Amino acid sequence: MIATEPYRPKQFNLSGLKGISDRTLEMHFKLYEGYVKETNNLNERIAEFLKDGKVDQDEMPLYSELKRRLGFEFNGMVLHEYYFGNLKKGGGSEPARSSAFLKAAEASFGSYDVWKADFVGVGKMRGVGWAMCYEQPETGRLSNHWISLHQIGEVAGFNPVLVMDVWEHAFLLDYTPAERPKYIEAFFSNIDWTAVEARLKAKRGATVSR
């Protein structure tokens, strides 16, 4: 696809979260805007190559590098939108008993607590990346995965439902690197479970197959 319109940064009103300071969020929004800008920049440069309708052999090294960087920058943009989009002031630490998310977690892991232990475990993994809870669209089952950087370890075809940034910039102004578990706890106390649930694609109320 040749982008005809540049992407615009989305706005998120997250002031007043518990355990994640406004200062952190302001810095984080600026970083996110950098990914949007760089995605647009790469798309423009890639479109330049295609103006003559082909990619010449001598263009391949630069073209390849731009394409690789697009995976990083584009996912950097999109994952931050999922992340900010699943937080809210006044968010709760557990989904409602009757919620489709809770039912999916129970059907997939036996209980919400086991699902959470797995997700938190992924979040504590050493390295730079993201903890992801995906929904497998065909079955409605939930599955937690680690993404290195922004793009390594994405599960093709799975639907991101809950997304947690565990790059150190997400918490370094509030916690030390060794205090990542405290940040994860803070993240959980601000989850917008309504937004998470709205991302589920399997039919609401349908039995999740095991």
Residues that bind Fe ion (CB under 5 A): 165, 167
Asked if 103 and 202 touch (Cβ cutoff 8 Å), the reply is no
Tokens standing for 184? 């994860």
Query: Whose Cβ is closer to Fe ion: residue 108's or residue 151's?
Result: 151
Distance of closest approach, residue 8 Cβ to Fe ion, in angstroms? 18
CB of 165 or CB of 197, closer to Fe ion: 165
Are the C-beta atoms of 150 and 72 separated by less than 8 Å?
A: yes
Give residue number: closest CB to Fe ion: 165
Q: Minimal distance in Å, beta carbon 42 to Fe ion?
A: 18
| Distant-in-sequence contacts of 27-30, Cβ < 8 A, 24+ apart | 27/169, 27/173, 28/80, 28/84, 28/165, 28/169, 28/170, 29/84
Minimum separation from the CB atom of position 31 to Fe ion (A) = 6
Q: Residue 23 CB, nearest distance to Fe ion (Å)?
A: 14
In the complex, what is the shortest distance from the CB of residue 29 to Fe ion, in angstroms, rounded to a whole number? 10
- Identify the three-state secondary structure at position 2: coil
Q: Which of residues 73 and 165 has its CB atom nearest to Fe ion in the complex? A: 165
Instruction: Tell me the three state secondary structure of residue 154.
Output: coil
Tokens 């929004």 locate to: 29
Residue among 24 and 136 whose Cβ is closer to Fe ion:
24
The residue among 59 and 81 lying less far from Fe ion, judged by its C-beta, is: 81
